Amino acid sequence: MRLRLLMRCPRSFCSLFLGCVLLIISSSCVKLPRHALQSSGQTAQLVTGNEPINPPLININLASPEELEKLPGIGRGLAARIVAHRTEYGRFRRPEHVMMVRGISDRRFRAMRALITTGE
């Protein structure tokens, strides 16, 4: 009985090892295509028809509640809380400081980070 178990162990270990190796090999990084070079030697930029247009940044120190509601994830109540916090404690020095307002989580901040500024 023990002899059979000893005979199976090397086989199962070998198959387990090969399975792990195949899993590691198959999960390698995907190569991205290279950009075509222009005649000047610089890399060409890919041009797509659906490039986002950069909207103007909203200054969270000066914005009205209506302007703040244009930000993703900011409703009427949260915009009012931002204005109240700004009135009570003064201006925000950095955009990250808006997370001190109750209701603005890290996730919500990351969604609007590229759209806000403090005017500095």
- CATH number of the domain to which 73 belongs: 1.10.150.320
| pLDDT tens readout for residues 91-102 | 999 999 999 999
- In total, how many domains does the chain have? 1
Domain that holds residue 87: 58-117
Does residue 37 lie within any of the structural domains?
Answer: no
Residue 43 is predicted with a pLDDT of 47
Does residue 67 lie within any of the structural domains?
Answer: yes
C-alpha 79: how far from its chain's center? 23
| pLDDT tens readout for residues 9-23 | 666 666 777 666 666
Does residue 100 lie within any of the structural domains?
Answer: yes
Spatial contact of 46 and 38, defined as CB atoms under 8 Å apart:
no
Half-sphere exposure of 54 (CA within 13 A, CB side): 5
Does residue 24 lie within any of the structural domains?
Answer: no
